[in-house]
């Protein structure tokens, strides 16, 4: 087993990575939550038939009463209406402040269940059991939980750290190839922003089979990078912004596709490629970097360019949480493995994007 600790004073938690660890969830949670009697498991229609029964059996062996909420798979479930339904369901189940909520699924499940756990009874214990690559390397670690609003993604949320993150790489075997590769966009991001050797390691393994052969190392490396960033900047006011490389422009692609045409990972891949081009135009990013990033994404079957109007860019930039007043901070690279937060007026960024569209 590979283990990491996210060292936040008073809110420390472990990330445990091991094949088959899903079957050990009950005993690990009993040790973590000795006073709990009930655990509410939030999962979705894709994951429920695959893994809920195994988790439920493990929890019941450990003496927990277990109840499952099954939400429709997909981004549309991250809405305030479903959040309210979860609150009411938790109360119907009899959840108390000594009990807990488990997220079993991908990023949507984790965000929704986490926000519900953060707010019901003013906060109950929350455990992440991510089952997608994207959730394992990114969204399950760091404490960002949220729902979407009509105005955009993740606009209502909180920072609420889990008590434990359990990662079972075996759950990745059931992912469709496009969903697996979507997660690889976030994996490539970690190489881009922090570790050139890791980036080179990934580019030498473009197939799913090659990546799965080293999946424990991949998960550990990504989580290790993220935990270091989160420990220094839990509330996303400084260093943590580097994790958003590719996301500012990626959000525009998601918006342009009405959050259905392009997955989050696909949008981030194209967003990293666009950010590299803008960095090149601003004299920040060296000429060879955009090609390295686009080659890495293309080898994984990820888009390197997505059509987007200047109006979609303007809307996404206006909603971006890295903005302050008339300015926005775009994360750029001055080399593979190192970022440069570049603050500029939003109008200047739109001018750069207009130039990009005309190429």
The token pair that represents 14 in the structure block = 């472990």
Residue with tokens 């949507």: 108
Residues 165 and 207 in one domain: no
Q: Examine the fold and report which residue of 156, 174, 192 is the final residue of a domain before the chain moves on.
A: 174
Under the banding of pLDDT at 50, 70 and 90, the label for residue 322 is: low
Domain of residue 291: give its range.
177-358
**Centroid of chain to Cα 60:** 29
Q: Among 11-15, 275-279, 320-324, 352-356, name the one with the lowest average pLDDT.
A: 320-324
114 and 235 together in one domain: no
**123 lies in the same domain as 199:** no
Rounded-to-integer distance, Cα 248 and Cα 87, Å: 31
Distances (CA, A) of 315 to 76, 239, 251: 20, 25, 10
H or E segment to which residue 268 belongs: helix 264-281
Please, which pLDDT band fits residue 229 given cuts at 50, 70 and 90? Answer: very high
Could you say which of 153, 174, 195 is where a domain stops? 174
Domain count, the chain: 2
Q: Are residues 284 and 192 part of one domain?
A: yes
CATH code for the domain of 170: 3.40.50.1970
53-88 tens-digit pLDDT: 999 999 999 999 999 999 999 999 999 999 999 999
CATH no. for residue 252? 1.20.1090.10
| Nearest residue to 165 (alpha-carbon basis) of 259, 29, 39 | 29
From 144, 174, 204, give the residue that closes a domain. 174
Instruction: Give the least confident one: 97-101, 139-143, 347-351.
Output: 347-351
Asked if 123 and 196 sit in the same domain, the reply is no
Q: Are 253 and 306 in contact (CB under 8 A)?
A: yes
Residue 72 per-residue DSSP state: P
- Rounded to an integer, what distance in angstroms lies between the CA atom of residue 131 and that of residue 123? 24
């Amino acid at each position: 087993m590979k283990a990491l600790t996210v060292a936040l004073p008073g809110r420390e938690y472990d990330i445990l990575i091991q094949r088959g660890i899903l079957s050990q969830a009950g005993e690990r949670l009993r040790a973590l939550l000795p006073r709990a009697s009930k655990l509410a498991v939030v999962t979705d229609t894709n994951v429920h038939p695959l893994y809920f029964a195994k988790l439920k059996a493990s929890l019941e062996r450990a003496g927990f009463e277990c109840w499952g909420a099954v939400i429709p798979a997909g981004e549309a479930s991250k809405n305030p209406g479903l959040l309210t339904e979860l609150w009411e369901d938790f109360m119907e189940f009899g959840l108390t402040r000594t009990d807990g909520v488990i997220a079993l699924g991908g990023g949507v499940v984790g965000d929704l269940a986490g926000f519900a756990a953060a707010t019901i009874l003013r906060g109950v214990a929350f455990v992440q059991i991510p089952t997608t690559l994207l959730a394992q390397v990114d969204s399950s670690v760091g404490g960002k939980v949220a729902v979407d609003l009509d105005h955009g993604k993740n606009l209502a949320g909180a920072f609420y750290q889990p008590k434990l993150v359990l990662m079972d790489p075996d759950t990745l075997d059931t992912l469709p190839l496009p969903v697996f590769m979507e997660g690889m966009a976030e994996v490539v991001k970690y190489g881009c922003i922090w570790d050139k050797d890791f980036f080179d390691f990934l580019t030498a393994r473009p197939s799913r089979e090659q990546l799965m052969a080293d999946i424990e190392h991949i998960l550990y490396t990504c989580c290790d990078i993220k935990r270091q960033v989160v420990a220094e900047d839990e509330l996303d006011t400084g260093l943590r912004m580097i994790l958003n490389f590719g996301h500012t422009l990626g959000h525009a692609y998601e918006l342009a596709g009405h959050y259905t045409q392009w997955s989050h990972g696909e949008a981030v891949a194209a967003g990293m490629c666009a950010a590299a081009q803008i960095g090149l135009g601003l004299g920040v990013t060296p000429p060879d970097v955009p090609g390295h990033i686009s080659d890495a994404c293309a080898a994984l079957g990820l888009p390197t360019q997505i059509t987007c109007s200047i109006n979609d860019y303007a809307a996404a930039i206006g909603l971006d949480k890295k903005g302050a007043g008339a300015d926005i901070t775009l994360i750029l690279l001055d080399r593979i493995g190192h970022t440069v937060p570049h603050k500029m007026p939003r109008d200047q960024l739109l001018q750069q994007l207009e130039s990009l569209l005309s190429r």
